[in-house]
Amino acid sequence: MASFERFDDMCDLRLKPKILRNLLSEYVPNEKQPLTNFLSLSKVVSTISTHKLLSESPPASIDQKLHAKSKSAVDDWVARLSALISSDMPDKSWVGICLIGVTCQECSSDRFFKSYSVWFNSLLSHLKNPASSRIVRVASCTSISDLLTRLSRFSNTKKDAVSHASKLILPIIKLLDEDSSEALLEGIVHLLSTIVLLFPAAFHSNYDKIEAAIASKIFSAKTSSNMLKKFAHFLALLPKAKGDEGTWSLMMQKLLISINVHLNNFFQGLEEETKGTKAIQRLTPPGKDSPLPLGGQNGGLDDASWNSEQLIVSRVSALMFCTSTMLTTSYKSKINIPVGSLLSLVERVLLVNGSLPRAMSPFMTGIQQELVCAELPALHSSALELLCATLKSIRSQLLPYAASVVRLVSSYFRKCSLPELRIKLYSITTTLLKSMGIGMAMQLAQEVVINASVDLDQTSLEAFDVASSKNPSLTNGALLQACSKKRKHSGVEAENSVFELRIPHNHLRSPISLKIASLEALETLLTIGGALGSDSWRESVDNLLLTTATNACEGRWANAETYHCLPNKSTTDLVEFQLAALRAFSASLVSPSRVRPAFLAEGLELFRTGKLQAGMKVAGFCAHALMSLEVVIHPRALPLDGLPTLSNRFPESNSFGSEKHNTPNLNKLNVIAHDGDDLGNRWQAKADVPSNNAIQRTLDTTLPLQESNRLKVGNDLATVVSLSVQDHTDIVASENGQQADVPEKVPEESLGPVTDKDVTAPKDGYEEVVSGTQEGEDLAVKDSLMEEASIGKKIESLGESDDDPIPSLQEGDFLSSSSDSDSDIES
Amino acid sequence: MEITVIASSSIDEGIGSWDLKTGTEQLQFKPCASPAHGLTAVGEKFLASSQLSARNTSGSIFYWSWTKPQAEVKSYPVEPIKALAANNEGTYLVGGGISGDIYLWEVATGKLLKKWHGHYRSVTCLVFSGDDSLLVSGSQDGSIRVWSLIRLFDDFQRQQGNTLYEHNFNEHTMSVTDIVIDYGGCNAVIISSSEDRTCKVWSLSRGKLLKNIIFPSVINALALDPGGCVFYAGARDSKIYIGAINATSEYGTQVLGSVSEKGKAITCLAYCADGNLLISGSEDGVVCVWDPKSLRHVRTLIHAKGSRKGPVNNIQIVRKTIVANSNKTQVSWKSRGALIPPPLEKYERPVEDTMDGIVTVDPPPFSDVPVYSSFLSADLIDEQVKELQQQGSAATEMEMERLKLEYKRSLQMNEQWQKNYENLLQVVMEEEQIGGTN
């Protein structure tokens, strides 16, 4: 009877029990039949997952008979797995354990709820059994982890789940004490992390034991660097087991003490003796009890390991990684971050560069110094990571310490020549600028500009000779600005010598990733604080970014096909470098400054060429950059409320406006173009304040955050330009004899700079206004002033487009046909 | 998201609070008699206000939590504080004293981080820039100064003798009554009003005056349209003038007009971005909500009741995040009530203490969201199947090598035994020959 049954399609519910039974008979071994092919297990898992074979259908939706079939099929499956888990043979129990983990994930809620306790005890027995093989134990850890993950989604079983999880702690501690393989340790750490995140109360009675066990693993000489990181990560999560502020602070204190104790040994002979003592003292103030060392009474330290510099640095790096993870992982209660101690620790590490203080040279041999210097870059890298984590955790609350952090970063920038460390420094700089805004930009601008100038030198090997001739002037320019900024003469001389020594090194060793990092820092600097206090460095930065962007794109674009032969990573690096250079250059053009952007013409040409290239990332960004620059070129002053309509008086302005607001036809930019058209229309029509806000909100939601910031900056540039327009209009208005109440001309001129050309050029347009005014004698004085303001804006907009406006063409704008407007736009 | 309007008075009528969307009156917080610009919300956590006092010998600043009408924390600075402002996150509090000194406190600990002499006379206005890194202060002497907070903590620069402020604006001839700053980042525009009947527009990046606008009456309060073209000026003649930043004329009344109602002087203004509403407070204790588009008032919130009406001199708009779960809301409110920080300190601590610094960081607002781990068994099966296969083939190769080696050894052993046997046979044969001869 069954053999003649037909099914609707591959999603027929009646198929599921049959497929499951087929898998069970064909691929899953039973007690007597040996396991022949390991690869079939992957097929079993993917089939179960695809068809959801273990999720029994709810009985109401289908007929009773099919439900019974489905249930019995899953019952057989579970029975088979239980038999396998109980088997004495390791390969069969391994299969059962793995498939139980998948079953925990896939089975129905009812079945899981009824069976999870039995499954848990079976898996736990394998974990506890000393005779179990390694691979069986790894599978047990993973399956228990999945069981607990599923269990955490039942809110009504919280207590029972915690009780089950508690049973795991002591066996895990026992496993940690054994000499286990790395795979088993990974499984154990992941299981512990799952427990601490989902059921933190399970650690309540064994918190100290777990801490001691993990710490001894970190301090053990046998632990690999990969496992060091995992253990450190779990140690950072461990305070969540209790969840209160005191536990977090205690762990942080222990970590800092342990790090400083290690550094006392490592830095012996390299720094002043009192420094380490002070560091320990501030962590244990007098009057308070010193906490137990990390890892229990003896701290897990044996004297033999002190002789290995590499081992000390590995431990310190792991402990610093643990500290960083604690700072950046969210914690559910308020925490007190010891910023002073953290910054002192970072400073202590970064101050040691391997050179020997004069007074202490007898204490250290050449071999010792060699060993220390070999490990110092890794130590500095960890310290910079810790500094970055500290900044990210407290963000703007760094305010009392911001100045000292700036000095620390600046002094380390001067000494640091390793590219990897410089990349981390640029990342720290970017984080500081983003979290602390304009004030930080004013503090850091000089350092970022000087260092980026050095790192962006010699942008391509092909341009070696050309760049070397450019190099002295650029360097001298930066130095001159640095001199004008700083007032200490001795500092200037030191700066000068450092500069000349540094250039040859960076000349050879600026990798692309370092250039990308410096470009990102410059972009952030221009975004945050491009206008305020930038007199001393803005011109050189704009020039540098133009040179970098041009060199990055010049040869590479034409030879795009050449790089098909290169490995993928090399090509990707070049594309990333181009994008970073173009992004920074775009920020340089869009960021507001006092004058018109110096390289606007070059920028427009560069982006226009880039938009035509084959690389879609670069082309997409160039299109976007052109859209951003359009706001700079044609400032859209948001119209005033009550502005009268101009369309009757100047019919050609419609086509003029629509042509101005043409934008590239990309999907993402269509919305922007539409908004642009709306803004253009509103420029001529009466506007509502809420509508303006709606447009602004649309822009904000459409653009990514950073581009939205740039657009806002552009809009503010439009505001500034409008203010300038206003100044010119005042001059025009003052020449109108009919306005009796206009004050004297001389005070008006003091409001802003005025050139004679600007005053005389719009004369024809002004006459037009006068005739219009005379024709409409009934217009109110207010309306007349508004018309003059609008006309002044239009004239000024034309002035912005051309450096040297021609009066005849401008006259044509108001009197002639649209063809003249086209020619004007093209010119 | 709940939007609350809070208003305070110079007479001890407490701080009134209303739900802006419904007009419902909420808790009234007492006691409070605040100076102008002396009321602020510290983040979303609590209210803070400086207090007017009959005696000028010492000042006081009070804190209220949102759930209790009584002042929970009282601080007593060394001098009366007039202007009070908090940064956006509510981590720092700035107060301006009657002597012209400016105080910066850390909210979580109450520490006085910095005190500096900002002006020659009383500080009347304090405004943070959009990114909280600059502070703009206005004074009774008409001066306006822009401070970089980071530079204030740079002791190295202080020793150099540089001036602490970034900009100094001196064009107002009388007391500064209000200051607003727009959204322009480093290119922002600052607008100030003064008792000299002018509003002045300043450029933050250039550090100079852009526009001077003359009004027929003293301007008490300012509010800024987010579009950046229009600002609203509340005047002593009970009108709200609409000023244009790009006005062609110096005279504000000729630009965009004004709105007014029968009533007394306008004392304070605030702009609410949600719904684009303008809120004004006046000397007769009335708080009006206006629609800037139609220039009509939408709602009236009466601050004072009964015969004794105190003038409104502070209005603030506060956004409060509401936690979704009602059970957690109660827990959250309880914990927030417990989180009111300690009082503000009078004096700066020694420098060495500061270096032991502890910074308190609050948990993220949605940290109660449950954590979901991912399932790993399926991936583990793939990994271990791979490992078993590799191990199998590698083990087989090693076994083969070992067997080859053992085979060679067996062969050598066999040869050795062969030689021994032959030697033994030879000895036996020789013995037989000797026996035969005898």
SS3 sequence, A231-266? HHHHHHHHHHHCCCHHHHHHHHHHHHHHHHHHHHHH
User: What pLDDT was estimated at residue A480?
Assistant: 35
Closest by CA position to A345, among listed A392, A278, A288? A278
**Beta-carbon separation of A690 and B228 below 8 A:** no
Cβ–Cβ < 8 Å for A720, B203: yes
Write the CB contacts of A92 (distance below 8 Å, at least 6 apart in sequence).
A29, A31, A35, A84
- B 146-205: CB under 8 A from A: 148-151, 153-157, 160, 166, 182-189, 201, 203-205
Q: In the block, which residue shows the tokens 């599978």?
A: A139
Closest approach of B51 to chain A, Cα-based (Å): 27
Q: Is B385 exposed, middle or buried (0-12, 13-18, 19+ CB in 10 A)?
A: middle
- B 342-371: CB under 8 A from A: 354-364, 367-368, 370-371
Q: Other CB atoms closer than 10 Å to residue B388's CB: what's the count?
A: 15
Write the CB contacts of A314 (distance below 8 Å, at least 6 apart in sequence).
A225, A228
The runs of H, that is alpha helices, within A486-615 are: 489-509, 512-529, 538-558, 568-590, 600-611
Closest by CA position to A127, among listed A162, A161, A176? A176
SS3 sequence, B361-408? ECCCCCCCCCCCCCCCHHHHHHHHHHHHHHHHHHHHHHHHHHHHHHHH
For residue A254 the two structure tokens come to 């222990």
How far, in Å, are A644, A660, B166 from residue A638 at the CA level? 14, 16, 30
Instruction: Report the C-alpha gap between B377 and A126 in whole angstroms.
Output: 16
Q: Other CB atoms closer than 10 Å to residue B271's CB: what's the count?
A: 19
**CA-based torsion, A540, A546, A552, A558: positive or negative:** negative
What ranges do the domains of chain A cover?
1-203, 204-296+306-356+364-415, 432-460+511-557+571-633
A135, A689, A713 member nearest B227 (Cβ): A689
Cis check for the bond before A805: say yes or no (omega within 30 of 0).
Answer: no
Instruction: Report the C-alpha gap between B281 and B39 in whole angstroms.
Output: 14
Residues of A in contact with B156 (CB under 8 A): 403, 407
Beta strands in A640-790 (DSSP E): none
Cβ–Cβ < 8 Å for B183, B226: yes
Residues of A in contact with B271 (CB under 8 A): none
A332, A443, A689 member nearest B292 (Cβ): A689
Closest by CA position to B157, among listed B185, B101, B106, B116? B116
Q: Other CB atoms closer than 10 Å to residue A115's CB: what's the count?
A: 16
DSSP A358: G
Closest by CA position to B193, among listed B217, B207, B176, B205? B176
Which residue type does A648 have? Answer: N
DSSP A399: G
User: What pLDDT was estimated at residue A809?
Assistant: 31
Instruction: Report the C-alpha gap between B119 and A596 in whole angstroms.
Output: 36
- Mutation for A interface: B183, B381, B382, B391, most A CBs within 10 A: B381
**Beta-carbon separation of A733 and B361 below 8 A:** no
Instruction: Report the C-alpha gap between B202 and B163 in whole angstroms.
Output: 20
SS3 A628: helix
pLDDT tens figures, B410-425: 888 888 878 887 888 8
The whole-number average pLDDT for the span B354-381 is 65
Residues of B in contact with A397 (CB under 8 A): 89, 91, 106, 359, 361
More confident residue, A495 or B277: B277
Q: Compare all CA atoms of chain B with the CA of A594 and give the residue at the minimum distance.
A: B206
Cβ of B438 under 8 Å from any chain A Cβ? no
Cβ of B247 under 8 Å from any chain A Cβ? yes
Q: In the block, which residue shows the tokens 């088979």?
A: A80
Instruction: Report the C-alpha gap between A655 and A666 in whole angstroms.
Output: 22
Helix axes A64-86, A90-106, angle to 10 degrees: 140
Q: Edge-to-edge strands of the sheet including B189-194?
A: B176-181, B189-194, B198-203, B208-214
User: What pLDDT was estimated at residue A144?
Assistant: 92
Cβ–Cβ < 8 Å for A455, A506: yes
Instruction: Report the C-alpha gap between A152 and A202 in whole angstroms.
Output: 13
User: What pLDDT was estimated at residue A570?
Assistant: 64
B129, B201, B228 member nearest A438 (Cβ): B129
pLDDT tens figures, A207-256: 888 888 998 888 887 788 888 888 999 999 999 898 887 989 889 988 99
Residue pairs between chains A and B whose CB atoms are closer than 8 Å = 284
**Beta-carbon separation of A723 and B210 below 8 A:** yes
Q: Phi, psi (5° rounding) for residue A31?
A: -65, -30
For A1-203, the fitting CATH number among 3.40.50, 1.20.120, 4.10.860, 1.25.10 is 1.25.10
Instruction: Report the C-alpha gap between A785 and A118 in whole angstroms.
Output: 87
- Give the alpha-carbon dihedral of A89, A95, A96, A100, to 10 degrees: 160
Residues of B in contact with A344 (CB under 8 A): 355
- B 15-74: CB under 8 A from A: none
**Beta-carbon separation of B293 and A689 below 8 A:** yes
Helix axes A538-558, A464-485, angle to 10 degrees: 160
Closest approach of A654 to chain B, Cα-based (Å): 23
Q: Other CB atoms closer than 10 Å to residue B77's CB: what's the count?
A: 23
A198, A399, A531 member nearest B205 (Cβ): A531
Cβ–Cβ < 8 Å for B280, B219: no
**Beta-carbon separation of B373 and A145 below 8 A:** yes
Closest approach of B37 to chain A, Cα-based (Å): 24
User: What pLDDT was estimated at residue A295?
Assistant: 64
Low-confidence ranges of chain A (pLDDT < 50): 1, 297-298, 300, 302-304, 306, 458-509, 556-566, 639-827
User: What pLDDT was estimated at residue A298?
Assistant: 47
Closest approach of B312 to chain A, Cα-based (Å): 27
**Beta-carbon separation of A406 and B377 below 8 A:** no
**Beta-carbon separation of B246 and A722 below 8 A:** yes
Instruction: Report the C-alpha gap between A136 and B330 in whole angstroms.
Output: 47
DSSP letters spanning A89-138: SHHHHHHHHHHHHHHHHHS-HHHHHHHHHHHHHHHHHHHH-TTS-HHHHH
Residues of B in contact with A743 (CB under 8 A): 250
The whole-number average pLDDT for the span B230-246 is 83
Instruction: Report the C-alpha gap between A205 and A208 in whole angstroms.
Output: 8
C-beta pairs of A21-25 under 8 Å, 24+ apart in sequence: A21/A73, A21/A76, A23/A47, A23/A48, A23/A53, A24/A76, A24/A77, A24/A80
- B 83-102: CB under 8 A from A: 87, 89, 91-92
As a whole number of Å, the end-to-end CA separation of chain A is 87
More confident residue, B243 or A740: B243
Residues of B in contact with A442 (CB under 8 A): 148, 150-151, 166
**Beta-carbon separation of A146 and B376 below 8 A:** yes
Instruction: Report the C-alpha gap between B176 and B120 in whole angstroms.
Output: 13
DSSP A359: G
Cβ–Cβ < 8 Å for B175, B140: yes
The runs of H, that is alpha helices, within A304-338 are: 309-328
DSSP letters spanning B214-274: E-SS-EEEEEE-TTSSEEEEEETTSEEEEEETT-SSSBGGGTT-EEE-SSS-EEEEEEETT
A105, A530, A751 member nearest B377 (Cβ): A105
Whats the size of chain B, residue-wise? 438
CA atoms within 13 A on the CB side of A129: 20
User: What pLDDT was estimated at residue B386?
Assistant: 66
pLDDT at B240 over 70: yes
Residues of A in contact with B149 (CB under 8 A): 399, 439
**Beta-carbon separation of B248 and A789 below 8 A:** yes
Closest by CA position to B10, among listed B31, B28, B29, B36? B36
**Beta-carbon separation of B375 and A105 below 8 A:** yes
pLDDT tens figures, B214-237: 888 899 999 988 777 788 899 888
Write the CB contacts of A504 (distance below 8 Å, at least 6 apart in sequence).
none
pLDDT tens figures, B114-152: 889 899 889 999 999 888 889 999 998 899 999 998 888
